Amino acid sequence: ILNVEQSPQSLHVQEGDSTNFTCSFPSSNFYALHWYRWETAKSPEALFVMTLNGDEKKKGRISATLNTKEGYSYLYIKGSQPEDSATYLCASRYTGNQFYFGTGTSLTVIP
Amino acid sequence: DAMVIQNPRYQVTQFGKPVTLSCSQTLNHNVMYWYQQKSSQAPKLLFHYYDKDFNNEADTPDNFQSRRPNTSFCFLDIRSPGLGDAAMYLCATSRGEGRDEQFFGPGTRLTVL
């Protein structure tokens, strides 16, 4: 079992603030890094899947970067809105089809 | 519009009484996954199917079994639920393995009395 760690565990920000959180993962045999957003009472929803070192992806106000050599990914939210409140999960896939989630970062955006 | 459907959303069973959770998909994806998430923990992959090929995670207890009778449906059977099996069970699908994003259902929350 591999440990995928996310920090911080929870975060409260004011509407309009920009924020970021971290996903750390073992880099040996790495294959892909997934980010998901999980709103309360809804299904987790995919944000990004990244594979290459140095990858950067963007969807609206949300972007992510990937460093496969050192084993981390950052998720950034620019100008947070109340609708961004959710738990953000990362998951790391390895060769051999092993797939491990982190425990998530719970974001609350205060209007 | 629902793409991955899980029934029921809430399931209550008794200690030791077999229970089946169901998942269906309208995406025609090849891969279906079952995850277990206990309170404040990371979702843990139990097993997945690539088409009809079953892939069990090494540390998934024998108490957990799965069936995939066709592309659309996948079932999670818990043969003798214990109190420690109370959790949220998530089903997900993806077109392929590896780089493809997963599409999740809303989950079934299992309570064991």
A32: which strand partners? A93
Best mutation target among B23, B39, B94, B102 (most A Cβ atoms within 10 Å) is B102
Tokens of B92: 């997900």
Q: What pLDDT does residue B47 have?
A: 92
Q: What pLDDT does residue B2 have?
A: 66
Instruction: Say yes or no for a CB contact (<8 Å) between B45 and A100.
Output: yes
Q: How far is CA A85 from the centre of its chain?
A: 14
| Amino acid (one-letter) located at A47 | L
3-state secondary structure of A82: helix
A58: which strand partners? A63
- B61-67 long-range contacts (CB < 8 A, ≥24 apart) are B66/B34
Q: Is A43 on the interface with B (CB under 8 A)?
A: yes
Nearest to B55 among A42, A97, A102 (CB): A97
For the cut 90, the answer to whether the pLDDT of residue A56 exceeds it is yes
pLDDT tens-digit series, residues A7-51: 999 999 999 999 999 999 999 999 999 999 999 989 999 999 999
Q: Quote the CA–CA distance of A77 and A16 in Å, as a whole number.
A: 10
Residue numbers in B near A89 (CB within 8 A): 42-43
For the cut 90, the answer to whether the pLDDT of residue A2 exceeds it is no
Q: What pLDDT does residue A60 have?
A: 96
pLDDT tens-digit series, residues B56-70: 888 899 999 999 999
Taking CA atoms, what residue in B is nearest to A99? Answer: B45
How many C-beta atoms lie closer than 10 Å to residue B28's C-beta? 9
For the cut 80, the answer to whether the pLDDT of residue A97 exceeds it is no
Q: Is B51 on the interface with A (CB under 8 A)?
A: no
Instruction: Say yes or no for a CB contact (<8 Å) between A1 and B59.
Output: yes
Q: Is B19 on the interface with A (CB under 8 A)?
A: no
Tokens of B59: 């540390």
Q: Is B95 on the interface with A (CB under 8 A)?
A: no
Our CA-based measurement puts residue A99 at a distance from the nearest CA of chain B, in whole angstroms, of 7
3-state secondary structure of B47: strand
For the cut 90, the answer to whether the pLDDT of residue A108 exceeds it is yes
Torsion (CA) A100, B47, B22, B87 in degrees, nearest 10: -50
Nearest to B104 among A43, A51, A102 (CB): A43
User: Among A3, A25, A1, which residue's Cα sits nearest to residue B58?
Assistant: A1
Tokens of B39: 């309170």
Mean pLDDT of A57-83: 97
- Burial class of residue A96 (count of CB atoms within 10 Å of its CB; 0-12, 13-18, 19+): exposed
Low-confidence ranges of chain B (pLDDT < 50): none
Q: Is A51 on the interface with B (CB under 8 A)?
A: yes
User: Among A63, A62, A84, A75, which residue's Cα sits nearest to residue A15?
Assistant: A84
Our CA-based measurement puts residue A77 at a distance from the nearest CA of chain B, in whole angstroms, of 20
Our CA-based measurement puts residue B102 at a distance from the nearest CA of chain A, in whole angstroms, of 7
Tokens of B47: 């097993």
Q: Quote the CA–CA distance of A84 and B4 in Å, as a whole number.
A: 23
Q: Quote the CA–CA distance of B94 and A32 in Å, as a whole number.
A: 14
Taking CA atoms, what residue in B is nearest to A92? Answer: B98
Q: What pLDDT does residue B1 have?
A: 66
